[in-house]
Amino acid sequence: MSSISTPHDRYFRETFARLEIARDFLDNYLPPELRARLDISTLTLQKESFVDPDLRRHFSDLLYEVETVENDPGYVYLLFEHKSYPDPLTIFQMLRYCVRIWERALRADSTLTRLPPIIPLLVYHGEQAWNAPRDMVELLTGDEAFHIYGPRFNCSLLDLSPWSETEIKGKIRLRVILEAFRSVRDPRLGQEQLPKLLKLLVQLTEKESAVEYIQALLVYLGAASPHLTEEEVRAALQETITEEGEQLMPTLASKWFEEGLEQGIEQGIEQGIEQGIEQSIEQGIELGRREGRTEGAARTLLGLLTHRFGLLDDGLVAQIHELDMHQLQELSLFALDATSIDLVEEKVRRIHAGK
């Protein structure tokens, strides 16, 4: 899989690689004359990337294959690309993707004399309207006398930058994704858009799917927004996780717990290696693993308690940081069902007392 460097590209690839998102997008945003000729039920994601290895940190291509409702052509490719800024060479890069796709088709069937059509789809959500070329001819110097020898190639553009919230179409999942892209730079994101997006996702009937989309949304906005604060995320979750959302908390907390462990392990290994300079690298790494797991578990548990009960007492925070891994796991399971912070505090006191 490509190594995608920006949170925008990671979120785009993670969400648009889901068939339900791609189908919903095509139903709502593909030009009607094209949509009528495609059998969207046959949509299939192609796993191969067509980006140069040295460019994989800057592009996030996704390729789908879909059959047509006619015999000519029997199928077409849909090439998704995403941009958060108006890169003037985007159309050239997409053309390079297409050439690689056709080359793969020829390698797979050397008898081909005609190539499958490719529909390039560009999703953009920059701060200003898209102003980069959408046709290869626009990249060529000189006049029309030279341009007639250049390739005819353009893309379908969805520019979210001038849109309002009411203009976004689709089912809940797609609307949340596009609104997240549209509003990620908005200073009002934490106070206005985020609570709305979370409330929409909580409505999903598949609770496991809701948790996945909530998690992906929070990770993306937390990494990409220049304005969103931890306090705003906490407040939005407290406002959202009500009767319906409460059912999501155990699974969501479990996922956060696992992620917290991984982050803690990574940080702990780094700290352990530093300490290993004085001891030994092997001992330092092992120490880092142990300390990292414990620190990651403590931070994740504190996040869960804060989301459920609001700001925590400094004394309670300090006591939780003093617990070992086994005690943190015991307290985490208790916290999932606790009905008040008082019960949690009592449990912490009992753990410290050895009861």
Amino acid sitting at position 91:
I
Long-range contacts of 339-344 (CB under 8 A, 24+ apart): 340/309, 341/305, 341/308, 341/309, 341/310, 341/312, 341/316, 344/305, 344/309, 344/316
**Residues 53 and 44 sit within 8 Å (Cβ to Cβ):** no
User: Do 269 and 148 share a structural domain?
Assistant: no
Query: Cis before residue 117, ω within 30 degrees of 0?
Result: no
Residue 45 maps to a domain: yes
User: Do 148 and 18 share a structural domain?
Assistant: yes
Average pLDDT in the 253-269 region? Answer: 49
- Phi first, then psi: what are they for 112, rounded to 5°? -60, 135
**Residues 82 and 9 sit within 8 Å (Cβ to Cβ):** yes
Can you give the pLDDT at residue 288?
47
Q: At what angle do helices 314-321 and 281-309 cross, to 10 degrees?
A: 150
Domain region containing 68: 7-162
The C-alpha atoms of residue 183 and residue 297 are separated, in whole angstroms, by: 32
Q: Which region among 18-22, 139-143, 337-341 has the lowest average model confidence (pLDDT)? A: 337-341
Q: What is the pLDDT of residues 200-247, one digit of tens each?
A: 988 886 766 787 888 889 888 888 888 888 788 878 887 776 655 555
Give the chain's domain count: 2
User: Do 152 and 15 share a structural domain?
Assistant: yes
User: Do 134 and 27 share a structural domain?
Assistant: yes
User: Do 158 and 15 share a structural domain?
Assistant: yes
118 three-class SS: strand
Average pLDDT in the 78-103 region? Answer: 91
Give the β-pairing of 118-124 and 156-159. Answer: parallel
The C-alpha atoms of residue 105 and residue 107 are separated, in whole angstroms, by: 5
Q: Is the pTM of this model over 0.85?
A: no
Residue 298 maps to a domain: yes
User: Do 255 and 150 share a structural domain?
Assistant: no
Amino acid sitting at position 27:
D
Average pLDDT in the 261-265 region? Answer: 48
- Binned at pLDDT 50, 70 and 90, residue 141 comes out as very high
Residue 204 maps to a domain: no
User: Do 277 and 157 share a structural domain?
Assistant: no
Residue 219 maps to a domain: no
Average pLDDT, the chain: 80
Can you give the pLDDT at residue 214?
87
User: Do 260 and 123 share a structural domain?
Assistant: no
Residue 183 maps to a domain: no
Average pLDDT in the 168-186 region? Answer: 95
- DSSP-assigned states of every residue in 267-299: HHHHHHHHHHTTS-HHHHHHHHHHHHHHHHHHH
